[in-house]
A and B are shown apart, each in its own frame.
Chain A
Amino acid sequence: MSDLVVRLLQSSVCFGTVIMYGAIGEILTERAGNLNLGVPGIMYLGGISGLAASFFYESSTADPNGLVCLVISLLAAFLASALGGLLYSFLTITLRANQNVTGLTLTIFGGGIANFFGGSLTSLAGGVGQISVAATSAVYRTTIPGLSGLGIVGKLFFNYGFMVYLAIVLAIVMHWFLNRTRRGLDLRAVGEDPATADAAGINVARNKYLATCIGAGISGLGGLYYTMDYIKGTWANDGTIESLGWLAVALVIFATWRSINAIWGSYLFGFLFWVYLIIPGLARKDIELFKMLPYLVTIAVLVITSLRKKREDQPPASLGLAYFREER
């Protein structure tokens, strides 16, 4: 296998991992009936918080400890993103604001905050290109010792940071939770038919809050992976996180709200996004066209699932709707 193909597949996996986090979190949220279009903003929040936390830790000590770097950045990213989810929950669940508008606002909000502090961090670090959290990034990019050296197999399967594997584990755990536990069943009932869930004694608001906040926390890890591993512990004000966030939203639809499907779906998206690498003789504009492939595939999936009319592949029935017990 040529180096180019190996490089393509590796890029696909790394790219896919970013959006897989976004999608897994959003699947949890949407299964509870909340359409959070703030995923890009939440990924921004996760990215900048993780980066800022490790930046201040690294600059405060001469000899940063790897484990502390890891814990601090992970916690900061998760909590900041969950806080974004909490804001969204309060507006849409308690105040019953329109979910689409709230989500889009959260995207703009998250992007604004992140780029503002990203810029501040850059100036603190001494100018463009200077910001670097080398120690933390190194932890994130540590590959599995031994296994990564196993030729092609090692390069393809074991040559990644731990978050690539964590994403897969999370997707599987999420699938198990939603389909094999009573709490998961209750949560899905809330997303399908909150009035029925309410009548069955399920606390609708609590389920929605928890799903949205934890879901946002998971989505935010995608932003963290992007800053720490994908662009190696730096910051770029180029809006990539936002476009990745929208791909994550598209991936939720592509995966038909099943986190298991998000695993291969995300890698497929990554492959389609980077496939231009192995096609010779492409001009700049052709590359941009190729990068649209994931969206085209999502549209195709939407058309196909709509035509097949299989009930299990449809979005949760009350997705996007606020629930109010005393209505009608």
Chain B
Amino acid sequence: MEQTFAIQMKDITKRFGKVVANDHVSLDIKRGEILSLLGENGSGKTTLMNMLAGIYFPDEGQILVNGVPVTIASPKDAFDCGIGMVHQHFKLVDVFTAAENIILGLDSRQKLDLKAVAAKIEDICGRYGFVIDPYKKVYNMSVSEKQTVEIVKVLYRGADILILDEPTAVLTPQETDRLFAVMRNMKADGKAMVIITHKLHEVMDVSDRVAVLRKGQYIGDVATADTDPQKLTDMMVGHAVTLNIERPLVETRNLRLEVEDLTVLTPDGIKALDSVSFQAFGGEILGIAGISGSGQKELLEAIAGLQPTQPGSHVIYHPPAPDEPIAGQHVPVDRGGEELLGKTPRQIHDIGVSMAFVPEDRLGMGLVGTMGMADNMMLKTYRSGKGPLLDRKPPRQLAEKVKQELDVLTPSINTPVRRLSGGNVQKVLVGREIAQEPSVLMTAYAVRGLDINTSYTIYNLLTAEKLKGVAVIYAGEDLDVLLELCDRILVLCGGQVSGILDARTATKEEVGLLMTKFKKEGAQA
């Protein structure tokens, strides 16, 4: 088949504030080819494609469509260039039918002839092997059907360059096979296709060529036939970078948390966690690695009492011995081990298990954006006061302490935290949890979006907790950090534990392979 460039991206750079999301990336997309865009979380895959779809505008560089330089400033411009992107989060109106969604916003002067629209949809479906009912309402559709509507919507608008952003994340294996079959049909029709993914077996299965991004930089591209998952993993994670995070070894490590057969279902009934078992020890940082959405959030939330669990799951908490420095601050529990499941989040918190989860929007969980530092501190302690009136003094002192110790940049402890920069918000969140003097401290994405120096402050805080004998659980995105900060690393893949490694001896490649389910013999430590 004759291959011509559908799109050439030349030296594209995109910055968000100080963060460089794409650093002089050059990428070619050819007709009649399925290109996989591979990379870890935060490697800039979606950002790069969003610039083709008109969501973002590149700071530098040039985009050529069919050899002609173009400016793509809006989704409409992208459509005019024949580029269509199916996002991870579907953009469909629930109460409309498939057909109504598909023609939304198109030539408003025309008559609304849903029969003609349906016929054209059937035509597109027939050509590529889709199945959809044009008259079915979106709220009655499965995720896979909604995705089909999104793809047909793009095709209906005449797109011949399709970008699919992690299309299989929400699909069952059967639905994935069907999607891939459709993609091959479209390829045969001469369309150019890009699939963003971090699942290696899908890359091997569907694509003709793989382009790899790492930390915003273009690593290279290879023909799928000439490579294997091992080589791709190496390209994806790169060589280990030395960060020089201090990692003292604590000699006495007592069992603190025992998780057995923990199973959690998503609202759709899919297993978010599948029989997860592990142990966490005081005086140790247990890292949790995995591609995003592998169950990290559910795991921590289940332990914190925020997720309903399936029968047979156990989370046993072993309180610190009375002679340990961190003992005696919390509600006393059974010394032989206390079951945490079935307790309320507040009970679990009072026992000494704290969680600091930093969601993508930073303020979603844990802090109230319109309240100041002092009031946010009070959220965790107001119940302990006597009488109906609030005692504002202790939280104020605590806020001042956190502000000084963690160097939080805020005009005053009463300034609404939403006005603080992201890094400072995170310091408030983590600082507050540490101030509770927990015996188990769980943090997720604690350094998300932070600059290097602030990240180190957080690392040092966590290590200090570890030295006190606290069991620290750290879910993180950056493998280099996990390998240098943690004592052991638990790798999650698709809701299952694919391995637990000693972080002092493990290599980045080992972790990377476990993350993508290519287990090696003896990886279980």
Contact = CB atoms under 8 A, between A and B. Distances in A.
B94 A311 contact: yes
B107 A182 contact: yes
A313 to B, nearest CB: 10
Given A182-B112, A311-B139, A202 B104 contact: yes
A240 B137 CA distance: 42
Interface of A: 180-186, 188-189, 192-193, 195-197, 199-202, 311-312, 314, 317, 328
B95 A311 contact: yes
Contact of B93 (A180, A196, A312): A196
B104 A197 contact: yes
A320 B12 CA distance: 40
A201 B75 contact: yes
B114 to A, nearest CB: 9
Contacts of B106: 182, 200
Nearest to B53: A199
A182 B109 CA distance: 7
Contact of A180 (B95, B104, B112): B112
A189 B93 contact: yes
Contacts, number: 66
| Nearest 4 CB-CB pairings of A with B | A200-B105, A196-B91, A200-B104, A201-B105
Given A182-B103, A201-B76, A328-B361, A312 B95 contact: yes
Interface in B60-105: 74-76, 79, 91-96, 100, 103-105
Contacts of B244: none
B252 interface: no
Nearest to A184: B112
Q: Which secondary structure dominates chain A's binding surface?
A: helix
B95 A192 contact: yes
B384 interface: no
Nearest to B364: A328
A185 B93 CA distance: 11
B112 A201 contact: no
A197 B106 CA distance: 11
B91 A189 contact: no
28 contacts: A182-B106, A182-B111, A184-B112, A185-B96, A185-B100, A185-B103, A185-B104, A186-B104, A186-B108, A188-B96, A189-B93, A189-B105, A192-B93, A192-B96, A193-B91, A195-B91, A196-B93, A197-B93, A197-B104, A197-B105, A199-B75, A200-B104, A201-B76, A201-B79, A311-B94, A311-B137, A311-B139, A312-B95
Contacts of B111: 181-182
Nearest to A180: B112
Contacts of A192: 93-96
Contacts of A202: 104-105
Given A201-B75, A311-B137, 17 more contacts: A181-B111, A182-B107, A182-B112, A185-B103, A185-B104, A186-B104, A186-B108, A189-B96, A189-B104, A192-B93, A193-B93, A193-B94, A196-B104, A197-B105, A201-B105, A311-B139, A312-B95
Contacts of A180: 112
B468 to A, nearest CB: 37
A241 B308 CA distance: 53
B404 interface: no
B237 to A, nearest CB: 30
Contacts of A186: 104-105, 108
A199 B85 CA distance: 11
B110 interface: yes
Contacts of B103: 182, 185
Nearest to A181: B112
A186 B96 CA distance: 11
Contacts of A183: 108
Nearest to A198: B75
A182 B104 CA distance: 8
A328 B364 CA distance: 11
Nearest to A187: B108
Contacts of B109: 182
Contacts of A201: 74-76, 79, 105
Contacts of B139: 311
A201 B137 CA distance: 21
A185 B94 contact: no
Contacts of A328: 361
A184 to B, nearest CB: 8
Interface in B96-137: 96, 100, 103-112, 137
Nearest to B360: A328
B110 A199 contact: no
Tell which of A181, A182, A192, A197 has the most Cβ of chain B within 10 Å. A182
A197 B103 CA distance: 11
A188 B101 CA distance: 11
Contacts of A195: 91
Nearest to B91: A196
A272 to B, nearest CB: 30
Interface hub of A184, A192, A199 (most chain B Cβ within 10 A)? A199
A256 to B, nearest CB: 12
B396 to A, nearest CB: 32
A65 B112 CA distance: 42
B94 A317 contact: yes
Among B100, B105, B107, B111, the most chain A Cβ lie within 10 Å of the Cβ of: B105
A121 to B, nearest CB: 43
A207 to B, nearest CB: 10
Contacts of B92: 193, 196
A314 B95 CA distance: 10
Contacts of B105: 186, 189, 197, 200-202
A202 B108 CA distance: 10
Nearest to B92: A196
Contacts of B112: 180-182, 184-185
Contacts of B94: 192-193, 311, 317
Contacts of A181: 111-112
B136 to A, nearest CB: 13
Nearest to B140: A311
Nearest to A199: B91
A230 B100 CA distance: 42
Which of B95, B100, B107, B137 has the most chain A CB atoms closer than 10 A to its own CB? Answer: B95
B376 to A, nearest CB: 21
A195 B91 CA distance: 8
Nearest to B95: A311
B418 to A, nearest CB: 13
Nearest to B102: A200
Contacts of B93: 188-189, 192-193, 196-197
A192 B106 CA distance: 17
Contacts of B91: 193, 195-196, 199-200
A207 B74 CA distance: 19
B350 to A, nearest CB: 33
Contacts of B108: 182-183, 186
Contacts of B96: 185, 188-189, 192
Interface in B27-83: 74-76, 79
Contacts of A189: 93, 96, 104-105
B100 A317 contact: no
Nearest to B104: A200
B165 to A, nearest CB: 14
